[in-house]
Structure 1
Amino acid sequence: MTERIATTPGVFPLPDWAKDDLSDLKGHQKDDLISGDEGPELTAVYDTAREEVVSVQQDAGLDRIVEGQLRWDDMLAHPLTVHDSVETGGIVRYYDNNNFYRDPVVVDELTFDGDVAAELESTAELAADVQAVLPGPYSLADLATDEFYDDETEFLAAVADFLAGEVGAFPDIETLFLLEPSLVENPPGDGEDARASEAIDVVADATDAEVVVQPYFGSLDEKVHAHLLDADVDAVGYDLVSDHDGCLSNVNEYGTKDSVSLGLVDGQNTLVELPETVAERVDWFEENTPVNEFETVYLTTNTETFYLPYSKFEEKLNALAEAARLEEVKA
């Protein structure tokens, strides 16, 4: 029987109280913020907020607990914007929405950093069944500006090696989600699509955890999807909210991994889905794919949830967890 696991791709909205506290503190500590050194007062706020979002996930009954990425002001670009070999450039629109990030300009070799590993160490003290979240190598390279390697192929390989080094420092985790929206938003061309798959392999090989590659903001081009299936990962994600027909067509045309991750709940819309609706979307996917006996189906939001008001974010976590439990009751 297929196991249904309720989880998220992380990158949560801040609790309302934390937004207020951080706004006040950042106004007085702009130099710390720009350098990536938050200082003890900012760190204390983030630590307390992390404890809260971990507790919210546990109370909802999610099967995997993420750190929340509350410090990621630059969203998926964060692992680079805090790196010593990176200078932050101007403000750039984050894909096609009203969120922005500071352009990470790579000016020196991407050596080991350990920033994300430190976050996970703190999370592992609060929860079991921890799931790590990272930008995938293709998306992180796509969001950055390279002024050091001066070659697209070499730069992608360097980003993959950097991420693999970060993963190698992680504490024990159950799952690693690699977020790859650029595979949809700025799909790689001929040759580059194979290199993107190889870069994902490099990161995935750095952990014994289950690895899920989660594209979103639509469905993958057919050739990009086919190359992604060559990557040595455990599951590929499908954004059923943005393009369920395109995702279904890819699976039926090219197949998929033994496990899948389904974006079932809208991470950008405040309308809260009913658990029964979420469970029905999983049933629909399984009934309309030729290989419908998946080992695992991850139930998740289709995008990060930092777009949402905090109260709506909490409700959507509850909907995901309850949808997974509905299947257990039915069984």
Structure 2
Amino acid sequence: MVATTTGLYPLPDWAKDDLAELKGHQRSDLIDGSEGEAVVSAYETAREEVVDVQQAAGLDRIVEGQLRWDDMIAHPLAVHDAVETRGIVRYYDNNNFYREPVVEGELTPDGDVGAELDAAAEFVDDGLQAVLPGPYSLADLATDDYYGDEDAFLNAIADFLAAETDAFPEVETLFLLEPSLVTDSPADGGERASEAIDTVAEAADADVVVQTYWGALEEKVYAYLLDAGIDAVGYDLVSDHEQAIYNSNEYGTTDDVALGLVDGQNTLVETPAEIRERIEWFLEQTTNDFETVYATPNTELFYLPVNKFEAKLESLAEAATEEVNL
């Protein structure tokens, strides 16, 4: 049982205030690719703080926190030199927004995420976990003004993420966040998306988890996802636990599994006992003997107030410490 998270943490309250003052506008517009020394210093301090929070809670995997990702999982494109960020776009179906990344040139690797992981590694002895957008979701959130073809664009996104992954420091796990596989299912049933995910997974020297959320995958998309060379599929048990069980039992699953057990968008804090019941229910309902179960929130966590975020981490870690027969 491995307690971890999907990353994208809320900024500490002091950092929200300091960064808004330093940049002169609201957090949704903070990142412009040319951060000054004071801004960089504030993020460095906040990064160390959220690493400490995870370690104090007792999580088994530690993420960098993605505190600079004001455009959420669109961030790796939003800070790229070949991308122009345009108008504000609603982030899926909620009250968060991101700047539309419009790709206007070749997506060469820039090492932005790797640099964040290098910085986090200074405070993490072992158990470092990387977080990236999945290629399908990143392509879905972006606009292509360069490659000219949907297949070519998705392939370019996958190659870009693979090159970024190849530059990572040593990490234990890589979570690829793929909400668009649920909210905007691929027209071809998911074959190209699976191939793109496979491209990124092949570049990772770590266990690769594809975390889907805001519902369950359509059956065909799910079946294609299993063709990718990944170590674990993630299920959002908060949003649709019944379809998650159906997919797993009908089409099989991976040897490892990630369970979205904690609601990343609701301030109600789950108790360790409640989380534990969800784990046990899933294990009872499925026919697999899993090697590893990743116990996670179902979505990113930036939606939460800092005190609720910290409390949910503590509950998650405590729930995963009890012995279980996988």
Residue 288 (structure 2) pairs with residue 288 (structure 1): no
Matched residue type, 2:224: H
Q: How far off is 1:279 after superposition?
A: 1.0
Deviates more, 1:32-41 or 1:282-291: 32-41
Percent of matched pairs sharing the same residue: 69
User: Aligned match of 2:270 in 273, 281, 301?
Assistant: 273
Instruction: Judge conservation of contact 1:279–1:327 (CA < 8 Å) in 2.
Output: no
Residue 88 (structure 2) pairs with residue 124 (structure 1): no
TM-score w.r.t. length of structure 2: 0.97
Residue number in structure 1 paired with 2:205: 208
Matches within 5 A, 1:1-331: 4-27=1-24, 33=30, 35-127=32-124, 128-190=126-188, 193-291=190-288, 293-327=289-323
Q: How far off is 1:327 after superposition?
A: 2.7
Instruction: Judge conservation of contact 1:13–1:310 (CA < 8 Å) in 2.
Output: yes
Q: How far off is 1:208 after superposition?
A: 1.7
1:18-69 CA distance string (max 9 Å, x none): 1110111110799x95531111110111000000000000000000000000
Distance 1:253 1:309 in 2: 38
Q: How far off is 1:207 after superposition?
A: 1.4
SS at match of 1:294: coil
Distance 1:196 1:63 in 2: 29
Q: For the structure 1 residues 178 and 34, does the alpha-carbon distance in structure 2 shift closer, same or farther, using more than 3 Å as the test?
A: closer
Structure 1 unpaired stretches of 5+: none
Q: Which has the higher helix share?
A: 1
TM-score w.r.t. length of structure 1: 0.96
Instruction: Judge conservation of contact 1:211–1:234 (CA < 8 Å) in 2.
Output: yes
Distance 2:308 2:30 in 1: 28
Provide runs of 4+ in structure 1 moved above 3 Å: 32-35
Matched residue type, 2:159: D
| Number of corresponding residues | 324
Distance 2:113 2:169 in 1: 11
Distance 2:24 2:266 in 1: 30
Distance 1:7 1:29 in 2: 29
Distance 1:112 1:125 in 2: 23
Instruction: Judge conservation of contact 2:19–2:30 (CA < 8 Å) in 1.
Output: no
Instruction: Judge conservation of contact 1:240–1:264 (CA < 8 Å) in 2.
Output: yes
